[in-house]
Structure 1
Amino acid sequence: MEIDFVFDTACPWCYIGKRRLRLALEARNGLKPLMRWRPFLLSPDMPLSGMDRRAYVERKFGGPRRAARILEAAQASAEQVGLVLNFDRITRTPNTIDSHRLVRLGETPAQREALLERVFAAYFVEGCDIGDKDELARIGAAEGLDPDRVAAHLASFDDIADIIAENARVHAIGMSGVPGFIFNSRYAIAGAQETNIFLRLVDLALETQVPEPVTNP
């Protein structure tokens, strides 16, 4: 099975949706599909230095009261799957291109997933600025990457055009928000669905995927 996970690193529902998907896979005897990590830019015009977090969420959600309600809902949903979101620790909303570039530096799907998990935790749990290149180098080192290599990569323009192009492609197929999940390039769903919904999609993908041909030795 193949699963494309479309995400932005500053999206709390992507963190929650990823965890719910993992719980669904564990419920199916630890099914280990080929995961592909597809970047999405929720704020493509975000300044490279990011912006004040409070100003961002109040503008995005239409004022402090509505922002507070929405963030409280995300916190409650996160707690149900064992995650803690410390929104009060976040002071900057980042430009996320560099954090996507870091994830792409992973040499295997497993390492890319570990980098993504570490980025999510750094931002939503620790309140780190994941738009800061030094912080990203630290995160990369924690997952086995050479921090000098990470720093050199982020100082270059490598991968930027690819991430922007990937963002355009997922918009072109009709995905206007994240998280998004595509099973076997055939079944797609958006949003941090409940685990039982993911279970249904996993089962559907398993039932309908074409088996590999058997060849004689």
Structure 2
Amino acid sequence: MNVTIDIASDLVCPWCFVGKRRLAQAVALVQASHPESRFQFNWLPYFLNPNTAPEGEPYRAFLEAKFGSSAAIDKMQSDVAAAGHEAGVDFDFARIVTRPNTLRAHRLVYRAQSIGHRPATIEALVERLFVAHFQCGEDIGDVTTLADIAAACGDIKKDVADYLASSEGEKPVRSLADKVTALGVSGVPFFIIQRRLSISGAQSGEVLAAAIIEALQ
């Protein structure tokens, strides 16, 4: 049985990283009871801050403007870190210097999907992008950084660098993001299972598994 899940997320959203790991837990739960199930993920772009400058912005200053105080920032990061630890993600917020514009990163994922990379390769790419930002403090808005990440996942570095240095993929990625918003999505992660059942937020693996099984019935 084939299961298609569309996942709207932004690569600078910590809850999207948690949601990705919880989705993996859900898949394992579903496959334990339905071993014949096969999963296809489609990653959809979403921009938490579409007006971010192309070169990004200082991470701490962004947080201060959004949350208003160091205490509020510490509380937010503590909550996310606790959820992440439970899901197998160890956030290292202190390493993040730049909050990037994620258009290039979304274009990289779009390219991998559109040229038909294997699902495991796309999965590795998305995982590595989250790890780069939230655990390594790398700038995933930078062409060279993204090309290195893609190469580590088996792509050709020069091809990726040339692609990202151009405007190729920008229009379809922006169009996809607009379509996601038109569906009424106002927060991520957002999961659409079998194109018929949607679930919002970084729900637990058990909740996601139950939703997947419901969508299959």
What is the TM-score of this pair, normalised by structure 2? 0.92
Is the partner of 2:6 in helix, strand or coil?
strand
**Residue 212 of structure 1: aligned partner:** none
**Residue 215 of structure 1: aligned partner:** none
Write the letter of the residue equivalent to 1:111: T
Distance (whole Å) between structure 2 residues aligned to residue 64 and residue 50 of structure 1 = 21
What is the TM-score of this pair, normalised by structure 1? 0.92
Q: Which moves more between the two structures, 190-199 or 86-95? A: 190-199
Is residue 16 of structure 1 aligned with residue 18 of structure 2?
Answer: yes
Displacement after TM superposition at 1:118 (Å): 0.6
- Higher Cα radius of gyration: 1
Q: Which moves more between the two structures, 37-46 or 21-30? A: 21-30
Displacement after TM superposition at 1:174 (Å): 0.5
Question: RMSD over aligned Cα, in angstroms?
Answer: 1.1
Is residue 93 of structure 1 aligned with residue 99 of structure 2?
Answer: yes
Is residue 164 of structure 1 aligned with residue 174 of structure 2?
Answer: yes
CA contact (8 A) 1:105 1:112 kept: no
CA contact (8 A) 2:125 2:150 kept: yes
Distance (whole Å) between structure 2 residues aligned to residue 21 and residue 54 of structure 1 = 29
After TM superposition, where is structure 1 displaced by more than 4 Å over at least 4 residues in a row? none
**Residue 127 of structure 1: aligned partner:** 137
Q: How does 1:1-217 map to 2 (within 5 A)?
A: 1-29=3-31, 31-106=37-112, 107-207=117-217
Distance (whole Å) between structure 1 residues aligned to residue 94 and residue 154 of structure 2 = 29
Write the letter of the residue equivalent to 1:194: S
Displacement after TM superposition at 1:71 (Å): 1.1
Identity between Structure 1 and Structure 2 (%): 38
Pairs aligned (count): 207
Give 5+ residue unaligned stretches, structure 1: 208-217
Distance (whole Å) between structure 2 residues aligned to residue 194 and residue 35 of structure 1 = 18
Write the letter of the residue equivalent to 2:93: F
How far does the alpha carbon of each residue in 1:14-68 deviate from its partner, in whole angstroms, 9 at most, with x for none? 0100100110111122643111110101111000010000000111223222121
